[in-house]
Amino acid sequence: MIDLNKISSAKKAPTTKNGGVMSFLNKDISLGSKQLNDKKKEGFYNELTLLLDAGVDIKSSLELIESEQVKKQDKELFAEIRRQVISGKGMSEAMKNSGKFSDYEYYSVKIGEESGQLLQVLQQLRLYFEKRIIQRRQIVGALTYPLIVIGVAFGAVAFMISFVVPAFADIFKRFKADLPAVTKFILSLSESFPLYFGAFLLVVLAAVVFYKMNRAKVWMRKSLSSFTLKIPVIGNLIQLTYLSRFAQSMSLLIAAKVPLIEAMSLVQKMINYYPIEISLGEMEHEIMKGKSLSESMSKYKIYPKKMIYLIKVAEEVNQMDKIFSQLSQQYSDEVEHKSGLISTVIEPILIVFLGFMVAFILVAMYLPMFSLTNVLG
């Protein structure tokens, strides 16, 4: 049995983790990161599972995985893990010593080794990272096109304001035309655009610097997560993604016969999302006082009522691992559906908005031209 005191003492303080949307989206990009990225971890667990399932021993499996690595640093990593396993250490210990795997992975593999369910644990870890990659790609894919359209819209408007409108302004001055209010507004905006654009860039730069300096602080993580949850559609998508991860992790650990408190301690290490992370720490104390998991979860808005009800039923029939597994799949399906919905709904809205902005500027410029035509005619 794993010592709960060791797990508790190994916990990272909430202030050391990064949170928010960008942290979530960039998780798979590990330039300069200490740990392997999700794609490499998924590949490692997938290959190791296939080899062990085929009857290859752990040492030979690690040797084969090492030989397939292209990058020198990856080859050295798996060579060191293999050397430690050959010297008599468990694979979990070798993974921990490498510093490239999370505490959650270390304890999961350790549980698998001690319970004789290593293959099952490795399969679940593969599925876990596979889901993370799929969910991230779905969200990034859903947001990429709208962001491109917004960028194009801003670029088009900026071009017209900076180059097209001044050309019309010279014509209006030459003929001393009486200008409509909407035209005066666009001309005024054109004259002040460099100032507004410079101020905008300074605000963005200041916001980025401010975020970088404070992103690890509790108040920043709390505020950022609270803000993202309030964003229509996007907030719910992020919530469902982390709920899916939470449920999948709990399912894996409970199925491996890990006590509930220990499972929550382990999940808290890898969630990296403030509302769930902080709630897990507080719920541990509630459960130690005799409350059930469902009763403890009911105090936190991040957990849907349906989820709490199903967990309450699971507690009564002793089917926690199955219910958590079903919840994880349900939330994953919802993430996939809503990611597609974002692209379907937002795309035409943004195109219409872009068309409206361009049309508004053109109409504002051509209205005085009609008056000039009548005067000259």
State how far the Cα of 296 lies from the Cα of 309, in Å rounded to an integer. Answer: 12
State how far the Cα of 90 lies from the Cα of 272, in Å rounded to an integer. Answer: 27
DSSP codes, 211-234: HHHHTTSHHHHHHHHHHHHTSTTH
pLDDT in tens, 324-354: 999 999 998 998 888 888 777 877 888 888 8
pLDDT in tens, 31-63: 334 778 889 999 999 999 999 999 999 999 999
State how far the Cα of 117 lies from the Cα of 115, in Å rounded to an integer. Answer: 5
Mean pLDDT value of segment 273-299? 93
pLDDT of 84 over the 60 cut: yes
Q: Which of 140-144, 188-192, 201-205, 236-240 has the lowest mean pLDDT?
A: 140-144
Q: Phi then psi for 205, rounded to 5 degrees? A: -60, -45
Listed in sequence order, the residues at least 6 apart from 281 whose beta carbon sits closer than 8 Å to its beta carbon are 11, 14, 268
For position 372, what pLDDT does the model report? 63
pLDDT of 130 over the 60 cut: yes
pLDDT tier for residue 371 given thresholds of 50, 70 and 90 = low
Q: Which of 82-91, 234-243, 335-344 has the lowest mean pLDDT?
A: 335-344
State how far the Cα of 104 lies from the Cα of 17, in Å rounded to an integer. Answer: 15
For position 303, what pLDDT does the model report? 95
For position 42, what pLDDT does the model report? 93
Listed in sequence order, the residues at least 6 apart from 63 whose beta carbon sits closer than 8 Å to its beta carbon are 82
State how far the Cα of 330 lies from the Cα of 323, in Å rounded to an integer. Answer: 10
Strand, coil or helix: what is 155?
A: helix
pLDDT of 175 over the 70 cut: yes
State how far the Cα of 165 lies from the Cα of 187, in Å rounded to an integer. Answer: 7
For position 8, what pLDDT does the model report? 39
Q: In three state form, how does the secondary structure of 265-317 look?
A: HHHHHHHCCHHHHHHHHHHHHHHHCCCCHHHHHCCCCCCCHHHHHHHHHHHHH
pLDDT tier for residue 136 given thresholds of 50, 70 and 90 = confident
- Please give the model's pTM, rounded to 2 decimal places: 0.70
For position 6, what pLDDT does the model report? 40
For position 28, what pLDDT does the model report? 41
7's enclosing H/E stretch is: helix 4-9
Domain with CATH 1.20.81.30 in the chain: 4-131, 132-377
State how far the Cα of 330 lies from the Cα of 318, in Å rounded to an integer. Answer: 20
pLDDT above 70 covers a percentage of the chain that reads: 89
CATH class of the domain comprising 4-131:
mainly alpha
What CATH code is assigned to 132-377? 1.20.81.30
For position 1, what pLDDT does the model report? 40
Mean residue pLDDT of the chain comes to 83
Which DSSP category does 164 fall into? Answer: I
Tokens 């403890």 appear where? Answer: 296
For position 97, what pLDDT does the model report? 93
